[in-house]
A and B are shown apart, each in its own frame.
Chain A
Amino acid sequence: MSARVDTLLWLMQRASAMILGVAVAVHLGVIVRAVRGGVTAHEIIERLQGNTAWFAFYVVFAAAVAVHGSIGLRTVLREMTPLPTRLIDSVTVILVIVLISMGWRAVAGLYGFGT
């Protein structure tokens, strides 16, 4: 990868990190509150169904984590495994696509699409 592409990936990693800094803090807050008295699907869906704000939040959250995790894993694979660079880059792209699809599918399901 050229220096320019590497720099861009680094920037995307840090930008997604900043988004996640806020999103994960919110997520942890939600979890700690929600787990009181046990978690039920009903509680989760009730909070999300038809709620545009939460929907937007989770769409952005899922995208950011997909990008952040994939680029992060790419670095780990490059530094700690003997796998060829080309293969690692392909794995990264595939991982982003898989994680975004799975994440957005989950958000869509909880928001109320498809049910």
Chain B
Amino acid sequence: MVATLNVSIWRGGERGKFVSYEVPSRDDQTVLDVITHVQRHIDPTLTYRFACRVGMCGSCAMTVNGTPRWTCRTHVSRVTGTGRLEIAPLQNLKVLKDLCVDMTAFFDKWARAKGAFVATAEKGADFVRIKPDGRRRRQADAAIECIGCAVCYASCDVVTWNKDYLGPAALNRAWTLVNDDRDGGNKARLAAVAGDAGCHSCHSHQSCGELCPKHLNPTASIAGLKRATVLALLKGAL
């Protein structure tokens, strides 16, 4: 007699409902294992994303019992305290189908925050010398490991309340570039991240930092942007 686990999975698009499935309960099972079992053995029409399945790519991010997490790194035993397992697509993003969301808005905001490197060096120019333990490099390094999984974006209340808000990931990336000695785009970048659509709408709830699977701290990065934009404003450079 195999023990079973009852799991509730969102089916449909923006409109839909939770559907219950019975899956075999196994030791060390992850939430991704459960979803995979449903799609392979119960309902092949279930749509979901994954890639590496070992906690490196961030593709499998979904809402598990109300919290956005990487499903490949979430052990079922850790989250079914109340005996329930409910899996839904990431919040704050449009649902395409079942557990897949449209990541376009997330990456568009990344671009709007000028989260792209702006080169300044001429071909053949000498390397820019950057000390690894310099203050700006350390600040950039603390934020650079983001892989764009959107867990922070999904957990951010301000993203929910303010549709123009660029969000923790985009602002965090902008901060790494603000601290990059080689980058030449800071005037436009600070203008892009200032204001109610940018860093000034962050209220430091810190759900982003609490939940980031890479233990990054977008709130700290955004605080840095607040200081940088205000300095620019006072110098007349914003």
Contact = CB atoms under 8 A, between A and B. Distances in A.
Nearest to A2: B195
Contact of A3 (B158, B198, B226): B198
B161 A7 contact: no
A4 B191 CA distance: 8
Interface residues of B, number: 17
Interface of A is mostly: helix
A79 B162 CA distance: 6
Given A8-B233, A10-B226, A79 B194 contact: no
B194 A6 contact: yes
Interface of B is mostly: helix
Nearest to A74: B196
Contacts of A102: none
A8 B194 CA distance: 10
Query: What is the interface residue range for chain A against chain B?
Result: 10 to 19
A42 B233 CA distance: 47
Given A10-B230, A11-B230, 7 more contacts: A1-B195, A1-B196, A3-B194, A3-B197, A7-B194, A7-B195, A80-B161
17 contacts: A1-B195, A2-B195, A3-B195, A3-B198, A4-B195, A7-B194, A7-B195, A7-B233, A7-B238, A10-B200, A10-B226, A11-B230, A11-B233, A78-B196, A79-B161, A79-B201, A80-B161
Interface of A: 1-8, 10-11, 75, 78-80
